[in-house]
Amino acid sequence: MCKTRWRLLLLPWFSLVWLFPVVAAERLELDIQAQGPEALFEYEESTATVTDPTGVVVRYRDAELTAGKVRFNRQTGEVMAEGKVRLQRGKEVWRGDWLGYNFTTRELHADRFRAGLAPIYLAGEGLTSALTNHTHSATNVLLTTDDIAQPVYKVRARRLKVIPGERIEADRATLYLGKVPVMYLPVYRRHMVRHSNFFAFVPGYRSLYGPYLLGSYHWFPSTNWEVVAHFGLRERRGIGAGPELRYDLGGLGRGELHAYALRDEDSGLDPAGKPIREDRHRIRLSHSMVLSSNVTARAVVHHQSDAQVIRDFFESEYRKDMQPKTFLEAGRAWPNFSLSLLGQAQVNSFFQTVERLPELKLTAVRQQLGVSPLFYEGETSAGYFRLRTAEHRGMNFAAFRADSFHQLLLPQNWFGWLNVTPRAGGRFTHYGRTEEDGPALASQDRGVFNTGVELSTKASRVWPGARSKLWDLTGLRHVVEPSINYVYVPRPTRTPAQLPQFDSELQSLRLVPIDFPDYTSIDSIDSQNVMRLGLRNKVQTKRRDEVDNVLNWAAYTDWRLRPRRGQATFADVFSDLDFKPRSWITLNSETRYDVQNRLIRVADHTATFEPSSRWSWRVGHRYLRDNAGFGPGNNLILSSFTYRLSENWAFRVAHHFEARDGTMEEQHYTIYHDLRSWTSALTLRLRENRGGPQDVAVAVTFSLKAFPRFALGRERDAPSLLLGD
């Protein structure tokens, strides 16, 4: 037997790709890598066997197989794996000392195995697969939904059939509680999808509500319908209820409906000091359709009885969007063009809205003009617009507007390393005569010319031998990317003060775009003579067989060669920094520095430590200087610490401390307990309301492990969910 043997010391980003013929003269391409950073491959050519004591990883589509020894069958495409075998295929995980798998037919067989088919866990013998109906069969099987080493309850069965993603069927099954058999079942079936119906409750207390009980009944009449009936009993605020519906109608689209109404017995006052009506409600409807591969449509409706109802009873939603919009949009896309229709109306009179009745827009993405070196991009839109202020407390006006922008670009590469893209464009905008009670402006036209050039380059250097256990480095690559973007816009034929302001420039903590079409505040376009200077640095290494950024730092500012009134020569300097000295430590920094006055306007720093599954800690500092364009500033210190005491117990504490006046604004304390098939959480929140009494809330939540109430990590980012909001 001819045997070829070689030893390779692999750098982490090198992989070995094997190609071999399979049935029907097709070629199966498998990605084979060493599991450890330093690998010792042994390859036996005659049997196509790869062995590595650190582990061999084989990937193909959604399947990943890890083993100490892997042998291929060139005729069938089957892989025979030995030594701590692990196969992950989508959400399925299969383990065993020996396992056979066909990457083309997806057949699976093993002598002894363990498997995780969430929410069910299995162990047994004689695993085989059937090609005709894609099912698995096994004998002498133990199954449970407890994800612990010693499950409280389990089922032992003589034979088992698994229909992945649907159900399991067992013959001659016995139910055990601990080690005690309690029931014999000739036939046992268990669905792997959500229960057809169930209740969920959140009991608690909040000083704004008094004792409360929030509940919901979930009903699944079919796989594409979900109906939820919500109800809430709040001792101080009254009774509320409403339906929630999620549906998928296939070609007719999918969507959801949320409705909730309550009679609030202590509604209080709105921000203007007016009493809020006792009858309060909110309705949210969304529906989207894919009419064809390039045609989509979406409708969203938000209606509220008052501006505060979401803040008072749906805090997690309020934090995401304080003023939800109502709109209808449809679009069609081609390779180089897209056409969109947007309609937007003021459904809630207490939110200022720019109504679009409607707006039609044709967008030309950047594209080459034939075989010439020129590129073209453009945007043309037309619509009837109406500014509706909140409760009509301001000047309302409406007008027709048609806007057309076109730009030519000439991308070039000089000296083999410098990218130069000069551009020139023009914009023409027509405004109809304004109507309603706002400023009376006659019909007028505006012309804008713009030109500029963007320069950028990229340089890198690699140190393949750089290694450090302290900094978790295996090789280094440094990438530097300087850039200059020059924009020149002479004075338009009409200044912003002469035009109705529908799409105007809003205050932002970040630098707004300076070139077109990225700058979308059409009605605020004014003269510009500015350079945007940017510098990005990246330091990369290989960790866990993937390229990881040790450092990613971008700094940028604007040099205004001809500042407008109220502008300084240099804009604030912005710095965005991500530093990852080890795979479990992440440091983030965002700062904004005022060069002219030599002071920091914004600083946001966060450090995250996740050394193991036992504990993690995130600490941060957010600083916003007063009068930075957003009212009073803040000097906030944040901390969130999670610790797993044991397999069944964990706790989390979070604090928000305002250092300006030494106030602990918010405190969260949560204890998690694993109840085998369920998890529970007891949460206490203390919130200091300036100008009002302290808000105290405590609640208990339960969640099925198989069908968790929240996505992974969601309650960490939105802790009010644990209070039922």
pLDDT of residue 70: 80
Say whether pLDDT at 10 is over 50. Answer: no
Chain position carrying tokens 């007891």: 682
Q: Considering only CA atoms, which of 312, 398, 399 is closest in space to residue 697?
A: 312
Q: Which of 5-14, 274-283, 658-667 has the lowest mean pLDDT?
A: 5-14
pLDDT of residue 99: 87
**604, 593 in Cβ contact below 8 A?**
no
CA contacts within 13 A on the Cβ side of 477: 14
Say whether pLDDT at 527 is over 90. Answer: yes
Domain boundary assignment for the chain: 16-177
CA contacts within 13 A on the Cβ side of 370: 2
pLDDT mean over 567-591: 94
CA pair distance 395, 103, nearest whole angstrom: 67
pLDDT mean over 249-266: 91
Coil vs helix vs strand at 90: coil
pLDDT of residue 589: 96
pLDDT of residue 192: 67
Q: Considering only CA atoms, which of 702, 696, 709, 708 is closest in space to residue 682?
A: 702
Coil vs helix vs strand at 318: helix
CATH of 16-177, one of 3.30.565.10, 3.40.50.1000, 2.60.450.10, 2.40.50.140: 2.60.450.10
Q: Considering only CA atoms, which of 424, 334, 414 is closest in space to residue 374?
A: 424
Q: Which of 22-31, 72-81, 670-679 has the highest mean pLDDT?
A: 670-679
Say whether pLDDT at 41 is over 90. Answer: no
Sorting pLDDT into bands at 50, 70 and 90, what band is 517?
very high
- 713 vs 617: which has the higher pLDDT: 617
pLDDT mean over 465-483: 91
pTM equals 0.76
Q: Considering only CA atoms, which of 588, 629, 593 is closest in space to residue 607?
A: 588
